[in-house]
Structure 1
Amino acid sequence: MDARTYPAKETPKSRRTRARILDAAMRLFADVGYHAATNAMIADAANLTRGAMLYHFASREELVEAAVTYIEVERARLFEQAASAPAAPGVDASEHAIDAYWALLHEIPFVAFAELETAARTEPMLRIRLAAAQSAFDRAQVGDRFLALAQAGEDPRFQTSRDLGRFLLEGLAKGAMTYDEPARKERLLTVVKRAVRVLNRKGDVQELWPD
């Protein structure tokens, strides 16, 4: 069910309240984590009583299911915005795509979803509810839109370049560096860009390390 589509008996006010709850849940998942963001904390962040929130979501499972869909809608919206912004003149399309995705990974919906993926490793209910959203995002958003953003083809080599860039960036975003963080991240991003360009056979880049 789309997070913006509710039973006909519900009023516009009720839909707005549900959206406020789901937005609060998304932000708290990103800020304090899935397990720490209790239903009571989410209700408080949405300026509702616990009982009022139960009217809209009778269980944790209902809230999580709707929150996953809400977060996915927000991720897709941000991805569409990024994909609609072409690279500036003279900027390589694949490097632009990497910079765009790196920026997206630090937006609240992406941080919240990454937190849910981490929590799902030990939370069967969450893992089941995430499965469809993960598949849809992998194929429709990162798959098709990232390829378009990078102006890459669809054969296995281009798909591999996309996957290499994507998963390295996602891992880097989740990684905890303990020293010299800005410089280390900058060097890694440079190498990711060069690796993608090598796979895409773009320009005269042949080495991963820039001399």
Structure 2
Amino acid sequence: MDARTYPAKATPKSLRTRARILDAAMRLFADVGYHAATNAMIADAAKLTRGAMLYHFASREELVEAAVAHIELERARLFEQAGASQPAAGSDATEHAIDAYWALLHETAFVAFAELEAAARTDPMLRERLSAAQSAFDRAQVGDRFGAMVQAGADPRSQTSRDLGRFLLEGLAKGAMTYDQAARRERLLTVVKRAVRMLNRKGDIQELWAE
């Protein structure tokens, strides 16, 4: 949905209000979860009355559809920003890309999207509204941008190196470590970097575990 869908609501003030609502929804999805972030809570966070928010989003479905698009735009913006950042002179491009994606996974837009993906498993309405965004991000952002960042080609081996790095990082970001968190996380990130470099045939790494 955009301003063309609701021409009567496309004034600058109205668009600013919609953006405020969608920012509040994104933050709350990340902070308290999709189901806990009710429309009433989102209205309160956006400093609006329930009636005022209904003017912009008449139903939960309308709000969710717009929020998914809003979060996806923010994820794309952050990804583009990360992709534009160059590794320091003499540093490894693959390690730089993995560090950049790891940092992205902790941004509010990425946390919110991960929450929506988890909630969509048991919510058909959310699953339907999320599917296109998931596919677009998988191909255009992670597929193209992350592949370029880790300097992976288009062949199956390079694609696998990209996917391995991506899904291991996403799983690690969602994992709940209960002890020795920092040390375990650093060991796992080191192994992820070595695995991706090995698959990309970068350098002389032959073992996943550095003795």
Q: Shift of the alpha carbon at 1:150?
A: 1.3
Q: Shift of the alpha carbon at 1:49?
A: 0.3
Q: Shift of the alpha carbon at 1:8?
A: 3.1
Using the alignment, how far apart are the partners of 1:157 and 1:93 within structure 2?
18
Query: One-letter code of the match for 1:13?
Result: K
SS in 1 for 2:121: helix
Q: Shift of the alpha carbon at 1:7?
A: 3.2
Task: Determine the structure 2 residue equivalent to 1:27.
Answer: 27
Using the alignment, how far apart are the partners of 2:205 and 2:165 within structure 1?
16
Question: What are the within-5 Å matches in structure 2 for residues 5-24 of structure 1?
Answer: 7-9=6-8, 10-24=10-24
Task: Please give the TM-score of this superposition, normalised by the length of structure 1.
Answer: 0.97
Contact 1:25 1:37 in 2 (8 A): yes
Using the alignment, how far apart are the partners of 1:209 and 1:114 within structure 2?
29
Q: Does 1:193 align with 2:193?
A: yes
Query: One-letter code of the match for 1:46?
Result: A
Task: Determine the structure 2 residue equivalent to 1:172.
Answer: 172
Structure 1, residues 98-145: CA drift from partner, whole Å, max 9, x if none? 000000000000000000000000000000000000000000000000
Greater alpha carbon shift after TM alignment, 86-95 vs 73-82:
86-95
Task: Determine the structure 2 residue equivalent to 1:207.
Answer: 207
Q: Shift of the alpha carbon at 1:201?
A: 0.5
SS in 1 for 2:106: coil
Query: One-letter code of the match for 2:69?
Result: T
Task: Determine the structure 2 residue equivalent to 1:97.
Answer: 97
Task: Determine the structure 2 residue equivalent to 1:67.
Answer: 67
Query: One-letter code of the match for 1:163?
Result: D
Aligned residues: 210
Q: Which runs of 5+ in 1 are unaligned?
A: none
Query: One-letter code of the match for 2:143?
Result: G
Q: Shift of the alpha carbon at 1:153?
A: 1.0
Query: One-letter code of the match for 1:199?
Result: L
Distance 1:76 1:5, change over 3 A: farther
Identity of aligned residues (%): 82
Task: Determine the structure 2 residue equivalent to 1:81.
Answer: 81
Using the alignment, how far apart are the partners of 1:15 and 1:6 within structure 2?
12
Contact 1:6 1:15 in 2 (8 A): no
C-alpha RMSD of the superposition: 1.0
Using the alignment, how far apart are the partners of 1:195 and 1:60 within structure 2?
43
Q: Shift of the alpha carbon at 1:6?
A: 5.2
Question: What are the within-5 Å matches in structure 2 for residues 139-178 of structure 1?
Answer: 139-178=139-178
Q: Which runs of 5+ in 2 are unaligned?
A: none
Task: Determine the structure 2 residue equivalent to 1:39.
Answer: 39
SS in 2 for 1:122: coil
Contact 1:33 1:115 in 2 (8 A): yes
Distance 1:138 1:28, change over 3 A: same
Contact 1:86 1:149 in 2 (8 A): no
Using the alignment, how far apart are the partners of 2:53 and 2:170 within structure 1?
33
Using the alignment, how far apart are the partners of 1:43 and 1:167 within structure 2?
34
Structure 1, residues 14-39: CA drift from partner, whole Å, max 9, x if none? 00000000000000000000000000
SS in 2 for 1:154: coil
Contact 1:197 1:205 in 2 (8 A): yes
Query: One-letter code of the match for 1:115?
Result: E
